[in-house]
Chain A
Amino acid sequence: DGGITQSPKYLFRKEGQNVTLSCEQNLNHDAMYWYRQDPGQGLRLIYYSQIVNDFQKGDIAEGYSVSREKKESFPLTVTSAQKNPTAFYLCASSTTGGSDSSPLHFGNGTRLTVT
């Protein structure tokens, strides 16, 4: 079955360390996204990519970095510059990167805890 795989499900890091969250999709989708979810704040867009080797900042990109070297993969690095990294991170994809009505398909998320 096609879908989006995020790994690991739970991740623990010490403050000051960079950490990379994995996101892989086999839906053949062009566009991929990273959202951060905090209680009571809904989902906020970190980065998105419409096509391989291209990506744009979302609303809260500071302290994060991404790459899109393959269509299937869109890893997110949470750097030590991110002041409040503990959160639930969701990866999503959609059929096109353009302006259409295609909904997002989500992975099951990675819960990152930084102490």
Chain B
Amino acid sequence: AQSVTQLDSQVPVFEEAPVELRCNYSSSVSVYLFWYVQYPNQGLQLLLKYLSGSTLVKGINGFEAEFNKSQTSFHLRKPSVHISDTAEYFCAVRATGGGNKLTFGTGTQLKVEL
């Protein structure tokens, strides 16, 4: 089974500052990793995904994430945030080679302030 830990439930940051949202996972097999964003009262949108290859993955809205196998992490970063980035961010993991289950973390609320 897989599990995902998002240690930070809330991250406040000023506009134009950099931000990192942390995600650690646990799995006995290889995994695919995903970051989703959720705006209030909406569904989730895919930000980016790591499948294989380059460990630095670029997504939409200027976000990127780095897969670190030795630390079992997949932290999300953005060099300069905007007010419109205020949302909840979810990290998710799925085992390769079998199974539909996408396991989500508990989410991190990013609040961008002026």
Contact = CB atoms under 8 A, between A and B. Distances in A.
Nearest to B101: A45
Interface in A25-52: 31, 33, 35, 40-45, 48, 50
A77 to B, nearest CB: 20
Contacts of A97: 100
A104 interface: yes
B7 interface: no
B90 A43 contact: yes
B41 A109 contact: yes
Interface string B7-45: 001000000000000000000000010101000011111
A108 B42 contact: yes
Given A43-B44, A43-B104, A104-B44, 4 more contacts: A9-B41, A101-B32, A106-B45, A109-B41
Interface of A: 4, 6, 9, 31, 33, 35, 40-45, 48, 50, 56, 58, 90, 92, 94, 97-99, 101, 103-109, 111
Contact of A103 (B49, B96, B99): B49
Interface residues of B, number: 27
Contacts of A33: 100, 102
B99 A40 contact: no
A99 B41 contact: no
Contacts of B87: none
Main SS at interface, chain A:
strand
Contacts of B94: 101
B95 interface: yes
Contacts of A106: 36, 43-45
B56 interface: no
Interface string B45-68: 110010100000000000000000
Contact of B46 (A4, A9, A103): A103
B32 A109 contact: no
Most B CB contacts (10 A, CB to CB) among A4, A43, A92, A109 go to A43
Given A99-B95, A99-B96, A108-B42, A42 B49 contact: no
A58 B102 CA distance: 10
